[in-house]
A and B are shown apart, each in its own frame.
Chain A
Amino acid sequence: MSVLVDLLKAFVVGGIICAIGQVLIDYTKLTPARILTSYVVAGVILGGLGWYQKLIDFAGAGASVPLLGFGSLLAKGVKKAVAEDGVLGILTGGFTASAAGVAAAVFFSLLIASIFKPKEKG
């Protein structure tokens, strides 16, 4: 039962975060690139304030999979790095925390783009 509740919470919270993005696309002039950027920066701020972790505790992947979660991960990484390494952590924390996701996206994109053919245009 608790598995189903977890899945439902992730579905609803993740869905709402995506629906807000759609509202921004439909009712403002924000382009998709700006929305991605805004979500990550907003995630850093919400994560930095300590609010976003509460949403992650509640909704799990529903909060961590959207790019707000990526932003909050950057803030979390910086906080951990500053606590452990001092001043240098200001610079190392963000990339350290996001390394797995970014490296995966870079390498898989290279791999897939090399193997597959782009779709025909027109």
Chain B
Amino acid sequence: MKMTPEEYDRLSKKASPNSPSGKNITMAFLIGGLICALGQALSLLFQNNGMDKDTAAAAVSVSLVFLSVLLTGLNVYDNIAKVAGAGTLVPITGFANSMAAPALEFKSEGYVLGLGAKMFIIAGPVIVYGISASVIYGLIIYLFKLY
């Protein structure tokens, strides 16, 4: 039987029981949720040891970043990410992984233009647009006295 690519596309869509997206979204929810729950557990632990809420939040970020970078070095984080998708991307651990992974991969190109520069291949734009948005926000609240 001869089919156009469009017909084949329709047919294969009908034949596959579920789009893989349903599974992707479930895994992102579960693993992303677990990372956040771990963050909450650490936060409660830090607060029980006398930190105030804001300090505990910063300590949680630093702890999760360390864990993520370590697991990236051990090649574990990327294996979890294959299953978790956005679940390991969207938390702050994903930001840390986006720095550690290229730093490790491009070490062979040297410590300055390899490791040092490639570390910011994704984190760079995040910082550029994040900080710029915050400066614009700062200008607005300063000009309109909203602080």
Contacts and interface: CB of A to CB of B under 8 A. Distances in A.
A108 B135 contact: no
A104 B66 contact: yes
Nearest to A56: B57
B106 to A, nearest CB: 8
Contact of B134 (A39, A65, A93, A118): A93
Interface in A13-66: 13-27, 32-33, 35-37, 39-41, 43-45, 48, 59-62, 64-66
A105 B69 contact: yes
B117 interface: no
Interface residues of A, number: 80
A94 B134 contact: yes
B61 A60 contact: no
Residue from the set A9, A21, A43, A61 with the largest chain B CB neighbour count within 10 Å: A61
A3 B122 CA distance: 35
Interface in A88-103: 89-91, 93-95, 98, 100-102
Contacts of A14: 32-33, 35-37, 39, 91
Contacts of B33: 10-12, 14-16, 18, 62
Nearest to A120: B75
Contact of B135 (A7, A40, A90): A90
Contact of A22 (B44, B85, B140): B85
Contacts of A74: 130-131, 133-134, 137
